[in-house]
Structure 1
């Protein structure tokens, strides 16, 4: 089951996907050094001496409507836990590119969008592969203060994680960039769904059956029908 690291796991897998895709495309000759990050846009330094960058920012987390009421209440009238419904979330990301030279930003954004278009689903194999080898993207995801948590547990959730583009209007983009207090950059938004965060807390079980009782009763039958009085 996936735990509290599921949100960070999705971001790390997406970063690793973009990073590997740009490396395999060998863009260093055209745009120079490229950094793949997951920072708030207001923290990104820009300028002629800064490297080109592809940034993936998690700007909103919302409850998933399909899973919101999928389970029974988690506690009974006496306060005992009877179920562990997962916390189902949809993640919304903003993909933004930065470049110091003409067309660098457009080139990076095009490659990034193509990579996400060709990967509409984060498969369990892709999630496990991201954390199976040392990577500059994922080697610091698990801080020492979180023992017993494995980010690759996201691969075991019952529903696949899907990536779909989200088209924002000019007004929505304007409000979003104003809220981030950063200068506007051409961007593309994506919805990533669904992420299930589950708990390993024990659940109260009912008492065992002492005496099994099985009874068969015939169903009621209609003997006759009488016409109604008109």
Structure 2
């Protein structure tokens, strides 16, 4: 199933992922939940783990074509999207311990996202939570060349990162048109036999 929401759904996916990772990765291996955040690796500040939305694409698999009846109107079908996130660890440790720290953080992030490959309540935020549906989290298999091409942060040297596809999410359309007029009504009558209540 897909999560359907308002235009806020893209932001709510990020908030949902943050909620999951902050709960599962803190205090070990990341000391505080606020050290996990939404930021590009180039603008990470003091973050130990950054999630960065690097792509939004229409999801052909979840596309819906049927109009939805709503109170005498027909609403256009929602827009189905998949979101792609880059997950990068940033250790503040001394150089000799830095790589090990980053590998520990990435390992725990991978374990958490694998164990929650279908994300449901209580982690869904906003309109996604109200829909009562779910998000799918899938690791993207990319070779090193693809990852390096994805890493477009100026002179910042490439760091080992994870790439995940999250979705599909369905953004509700605001376009409506009048529903069909009632042109025929059918009434069925039946005889009530003796002894039956009237």
- Asked if Structure 1 and Structure 2 have the same fold, meaning a TM-score greater than 0.5 normalized by the shorter chain, the answer is yes
Unaligned runs of 5+ in 2: 188-198
> What TM-score comes out, normalization by structure 2 length?
0.76
Assess if the C-alpha contact under 8 Å between 2:75 and 2:175 holds in 1. no
Paired position in structure 1 for 2:195: none
Q: CA deviation at 1:71?
A: 1.0
Q: Could you list the per-position Cα deviations for residues 49-84 of structure 1 after superposition, in whole angstroms to 9, with x for gaps in the alignment?
A: xx461011110001001233x21589xxxxxx8441
Q: CA deviation at 1:124?
A: 3.5
> What TM-score comes out, normalization by structure 1 length?
0.66
Equivalent residue in structure 1 for 2:163, among 189, 196, 207: 189
Higher strand share: 2
For residues 91 and 127 of structure 1, the distance between their equivalents in structure 2, rounded to whole angstroms, comes to 15
Unaligned runs of 5+ in 1: 46-50, 75-80, 129-151, 214-230
Equivalent residue in structure 1 for 2:5, among 2, 7, 11: 2
Paired position in structure 2 for 1:63: 58
Assess if the C-alpha contact under 8 Å between 1:58 and 1:91 holds in 2. yes
Paired position in structure 2 for 1:85: 77
Assess if the C-alpha contact under 8 Å between 1:90 and 1:195 holds in 2. yes
Q: Could you list the per-position Cα deviations for residues 163-197 of structure 1 after superposition, in whole angstroms to 9, with x for gaps in the alignment?
A: 011121111111111x2323211111111121001
Alignment of 1:78-227 (within 5 A): 82-101=74-93, 102=97, 103-127=100-124, 152-157=126-131, 160-177=134-151, 179-181=152-154, 182-210=156-184, 212=186
Alignment of 1:5-16 (within 5 A): 5-16=8-19
CA shift in 2, pair 1:188/1:125, >3 Å: same
For residues 86 and 173 of structure 2, the distance between their equivalents in structure 1, rounded to whole angstroms, comes to 29
Q: CA deviation at 1:92?
A: 0.6
Q: Could you list the per-position Cα deviations for residues 108-146 of structure 1 after superposition, in whole angstroms to 9, with x for gaps in the alignment?
A: 111111111111111144315xxxxxxxxxxxxxxxxxx
Paired position in structure 1 for 2:44: 44
How many residue pairs get aligned? The number is 175
Assess if the C-alpha contact under 8 Å between 1:33 and 1:52 holds in 2. no
Assess if the C-alpha contact under 8 Å between 1:82 and 1:205 holds in 2. yes
CA shift in 2, pair 1:26/1:60, >3 Å: closer
Paired position in structure 2 for 1:35: 35
Q: CA deviation at 1:23?
A: 2.0
Q: CA deviation at 1:37?
A: 1.1
For residues 161 and 141 of structure 2, the distance between their equivalents in structure 1, rounded to whole angstroms, comes to 10
Paired residue secondary structure (1:126):
coil
* Greater Rg by CA: 1
